[in-house]
Amino acid sequence: MPMVVAPALVTADQAGYVASVPVQENATYAWSISGGTITAGADGPAVTFTPSDKGSVELSCVATNAAGTSSDPGKGVSAIVAPPAMPMVVAPALVTADQAGYVASVPVQENAT
């Protein structure tokens, strides 16, 4: 059974995430996904995917050796998080030239930096 390595957290509808399994000599691979879309590499040791808009992405990979024997499926899960909202900057409308100490801010978004 191949060990699937996938990101723990992915952003909803954002393309370009990668999951992989260790390369096995002379093996072929078959990936499947629930909660997203495979965008590249469905038959290789690494797959690129786009998560859907909520829930989690469940990835599965079966490796088949040169003799045609298939492994049990390896599985990986990535939790889908919402994209951050565009922050609204609050700043003074008027400032005095060369005067320090003005403050601008944005509302706090949970789990954002």
pLDDT in tens for each of the 113 residues of the chain?
889 999 999 999 999 999 999 999 999 999 999 999 999 999 999 999 999 999 999 999 999 999 999 999 999 999 999 988 888 999 999 999 999 999 999 988 877 78
Confirm if 18 and 89 have CB atoms less than 8 A apart: no
Name the pTM for this structure.
Answer: 0.79
Instruction: List the one residue out of 3, 32, 38, 33 whose CA is nearest residue 17.
Output: 38
